[in-house]
Amino acid sequence: MQKIMVCIKRVVDYNVRIRVKPDGSGVMLDGVKMSVNPFDEIALEEALRIKERGSNIEVVAVSIGVAETQQQLRTALAMGADRAILVQTDVAVEPLTAARTFLAVANKENPDLILLGKQAIDDDANQTGQMLAAIWERPQATYASKIEISAGCACVTREVDAGLETIEVDLPAVVTVDLRLNEPRYVKLPDIMKAKKKPLDVTSLDALGVSSAAQHKTVKTEPPAQRQKGVLVKDVAELALVLKNKGLI
């Protein structure tokens, strides 16, 4: 294991309350706090732990996005990534385009392992890792809650609907991570200072030969239907009665 590539997305912070624009053209993003996608943060933390257990492993953080995405890559560098690459674009790329972009970077970097979140908390697509693995013609292990690296392969425990499943994949491979893989470290101030000196290269989709053309068009964005507020009952007896009358118990 010599190199781990971690894909990172800049997204609206987990704690921000999302509001839809009145004209239905999207959600309000002006002045909203942006962060590293929490699942990608877990992916980076895992890469750093593998690096700390091994020797001479380089961790490269890669992102696609607007110029300000450098902020999230600086956070990744402060956490401990060795260097970062920003594929700068003002276009919101589809997961397939993101996968093609990461593939182009992977073809230059030749990582042994690519780690990323199972989904981004903005579009909730849950596609990029699987698509990247497909076009890279390499194994995928999605929804990882445990990753064990041994010679030439990774043993990955996956969170699936029925419980936990373990698969073994040859390296290089793509692993997408789930919530319970680890708890990401806090960034300390000296690390933020150090991160400013770490290399952050900026490239473009054009330079990588990737088209940003989209296959899907979002024609409308709406707030979800709201549930009506219900009634409060005063005690257990009334609760049991209401449930019985509704035929629920």
* Residues of span 95-134 touching another protein by CB under 8 A: 95-96, 99, 118-119, 121-134
Q: Is 66 in the site for another protein (CB under 8 A)?
A: no
> According to the binding rule CB under 8 A, does residue 211 interact with another protein?
no
CA dihedral 54, 193, 117, 114 (to 10 degrees): -40
Question: Based on the number of CB atoms within 10 Å of its own CB, is 128 exposed (0-12), middle (13-18) or buried (19 or more)?
Answer: buried
Q: Which of residues 33-62 bind another protein (CB under 8 A)?
A: none
Distance between start and end Cα atoms, the chain: 57
Within 13 Å of residue 82, how many CA atoms lie on the same side as its CB? 13
Q: Does 65 bind another protein (CB under 8 A)?
A: no
Residue in the block written with tokens 């199972």: 118
- Among 22, 90, 189, 215, contact with another protein (rule: CB under 8 A): 215
Stretch that binds another protein, among 2-10, 47-55, 77-85, 166-174 (CB under 8 A): 166-174
Among positions 22, 163, 190, 209, the unique one binding another protein when judged by CB under 8 A? 163
Q: Tell the smallest beta-carbon distance from residue 13 to another protein (Å).
A: 12
Closest residue by Cα to residue 171 from 190, 155, 193, 189: 155
Phi, psi of 226 (to 5 degrees): -90, 145
Rounded Cα distance between 31 and 42, Å, is 25
Q: Which stretch binds another protein (CB under 8 A): 43-51, 106-114, 202-210, 219-227?
A: 219-227
Q: Identify the residue whose tokens are 């629920």.
A: 248
67 touching another protein, by CB under 8 A:
no
Q: Residue 33 Cβ, how far from another protein at the closest point, in Å?
A: 14
Q: Among 23, 161, 189, 197, indicate the residue that binds another protein (CB under 8 A).
A: 161
